[in-house]
């Protein structure tokens, strides 16, 4: 009985530490709900694995973490999932040291698994046009106008799905040329709206204003009950439109629209720094992955821009 009570107390202490860590990163980094849920899942899974070795987040050693990694591999977790769990553990241990819970960081001796490069996949420009055309098939008419505005804005700005569904009506009332977006880490950026996206937004607002169900909502794209649309609901809308467009619905997602925006912009001559700003990437290395997906574009850039590419040097 005494052993069980001691174990129960240890588990409760770890739960409190995990919750304390989540509160800390929520306050310090303005982490999103989805990010916090991911950290929570990873840390509680680590806690469960360490329990098998009769260890905890408080007293584990590097050898215990190696056993934990082996347990993850036995469950056929992908290298990316293992790397994500290790990242969560590293950040938790750093926080635990700052809080005086631990004196050492056992993750310092653990290497990350090597990850295969994952290149962003995008739709073609023609497929984007087909998606936009397919919004006309949605019923009733207001849903068609809403979907068209969402797709036009998403594709013309490269917004994340969360950023799109959190847009406010007040941001569009005066038919703006740019919109202020608050992205990850509460970083703000101005994104320009193309004329086509602005026109689609104005047509949607006109329809939106004509329906009482939307009057009380502050969101640009509310659900029929006036509440904010979720990322999942936007994704489901895209799948439906993809079917109407004759596309494989599995290939169409909100993030695929963002990738398409970035890839098509780069293909048409956008520079990386500008694209980084538009996408809201904190580090340009995140943006650079789009260049790896189109090596032919880089070869073409050298052929057209390098002064010796044609075999002649300007004099």
Which positions are catalytic? 160, 184, 255, 258, 281, 290
Distance CA 286, CA 266 (A): 14
- For residue 95 the two structure tokens come to 């926080």
For 130, left (φ over 0), alpha (ψ -120 to 50), or beta?
alpha
Q: Is residue 150 within 8 Å of residue 164, measured between CB atoms? A: yes
Residue 192: its H or E element: strand 188-192
The secondary element (H helix, E strand) that includes residue 179 is strand 178-182
Tokens of 34: 């989805």
Q: What share of residues in the chain are helix, strand, coil (percent, to 5)? A: 65, 5, 30
Distance CA 217, CA 136 (A): 25
Phi-psi region of 269 (alpha: psi -120 to 50; beta: other; left: phi over 0): left
List, in sequence order, every residue forming a beta bridge with 179; answer none if it has no partner: 191
Instruction: Read off the tokens for 32.
Output: 């999103």
The 3-state DSSP class for residue 222 equals strand
Tell how far CA 142 is from the center of its chain.
Answer: 28
Burial (CB count within 10 angstroms: exposed 0-12, middle 13-18, buried 19+), residue 233? middle
Token pair belonging to 221: 């794209």
Tokens 């999942």 sit on residue: 232
| Residue 89 contacts residue 107 (beta carbons within 8 Å) | yes
């Amino acid at each position: 009985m005494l052993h069980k009570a001691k174990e129960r107390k240890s588990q409760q202490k770890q739960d409190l530490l995990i919750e304390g860590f989540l509160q800390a990163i929520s306050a310090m980094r303005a982490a999103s709900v989805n990010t916090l849920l991911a950290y929570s899942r990873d840390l509680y899974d680590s806690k469960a694995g360490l329990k098998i070795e009769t260890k905890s987040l408080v007293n584990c050693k590097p050898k215990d973490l190696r056993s934990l990694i082996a347990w993850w591999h036995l469950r056929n977790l992908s290298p990316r999932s293992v790397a994500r769990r290790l990242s969560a553990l590293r950040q938790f241990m750093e926080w635990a040291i700052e809080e005086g819970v631990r004196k050492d960081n056992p993750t310092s001796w653990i290497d990350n698994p090597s990850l295969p490069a994952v290149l962003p996949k995008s739709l073609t420009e023609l497929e984007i046009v087909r998606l936009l055309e397919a919004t006309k098939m949605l019923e009733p008419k207001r849903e068609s106008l809403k979907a068209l505005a969402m797709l036009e804005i998403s594709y013309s700005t490269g917004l994340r799905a969360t950023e799109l569904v959190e847009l406010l009506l007040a941001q569009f009332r005066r038919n703006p040329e740019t919109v202020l977006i608050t992205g990850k880490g509460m970083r703000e950026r101005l994104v320009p709206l193309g004329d086509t996206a602005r026109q689609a937004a104005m047509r949607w607002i006109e329809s939106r204003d004509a329906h009482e169900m939307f009057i009380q909502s502050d969101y640009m794209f509310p659900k029929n009950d006036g509440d904010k649309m979720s990322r999942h609901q936007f994704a489901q809308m895209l799948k439906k439109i993809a079917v109407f467009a004759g596309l494989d619905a599995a290939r169409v997602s909100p993030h695929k629209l963002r990738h398409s925006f970035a890839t098509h912009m780069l293909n048409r001559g956008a520079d990386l720094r500008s694209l980084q700003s538009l996408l809201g990437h904190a580090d340009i290395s995140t943006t650079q992955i789009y260049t790896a997906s189109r090596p032919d574009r880089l070869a073409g850039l050298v052929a057209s821009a390098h002064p010796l590419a044609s075999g002649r040097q300007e004099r």
